[in-house]
């Protein structure tokens, strides 16, 4: 897994390449915690290169969203691959997360 982060003011665009699974979810969790320490309020997660996510990775997504909600922030996902969309659909997570087709849509829907 490769994580690339671009920070602009109080928002971050995070791209994940590869898999988030039981062997590396803590690396993704650490990346999210680093953003929280920098007081980032809005995270836009680019899932275009995310190949797989396990329940451990989904837990980190939930934890990140809960944290951001408590500080009036947002956690938006965009460009999900069909397999990832299916995982979110089966797990019921499509109704929990803000999911957008692309970065422009995700940015347009950021809270003001």
Domains of the chain: 2-106 (3.30.750.24)
Please determine, for residue 71, whether its predicted confidence score (pLDDT) is greater than 80: yes
Which backbone phi and psi does 107 adopt, to 5 degrees? -65, -40
pTM of the predicted structure, to 2 decimals: 0.93
pLDDT at residue 110, as a whole number: 87
Which backbone phi and psi does 73 adopt, to 5 degrees? -105, -165
Query: What is d(CA 60, CA 21) in angstroms, rounded to the nearest whole number?
Result: 11
pLDDT at residue 111, as a whole number: 82
Q: List, in sequence order, every residue forming a beta bridge with 16; answer none if it has no partner.
A: 3
pLDDT at residue 72, as a whole number: 93
Q: What is the mean pLDDT of residues 90-103?
A: 94
Q: Tell me the pLDDT tens digit for each residue of 6-22.
A: 999 899 999 999 999 99
**pLDDT bracket for residue 80 (50, 70, 90):** very high
**pLDDT bracket for residue 89 (50, 70, 90):** very high
């Amino acid at each position: 897994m490769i994580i690339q982060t671009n920070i602009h003011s109080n928002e971050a665009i995070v791209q994940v390449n590869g898999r988030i699974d039981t062997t590396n979810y803590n690396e993704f969790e650490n990346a999210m915690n680093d953003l929280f320490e920098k007081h980032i309020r809005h995270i836009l997660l680019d899932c275009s290169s995310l190949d797989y996510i396990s329940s451990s990775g989904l837990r980190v997504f939930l934890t990140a969203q809960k944290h951001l909600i408590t500080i009036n922030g947002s956690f938006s996902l965009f460009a999900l691959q069909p397999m990832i969309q299916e995982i979110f659909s089966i797990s019921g997570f499509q109704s929990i997360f803000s999911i957008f087709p692309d970065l422009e849509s995700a940015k347009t829907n950021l809270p003001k």
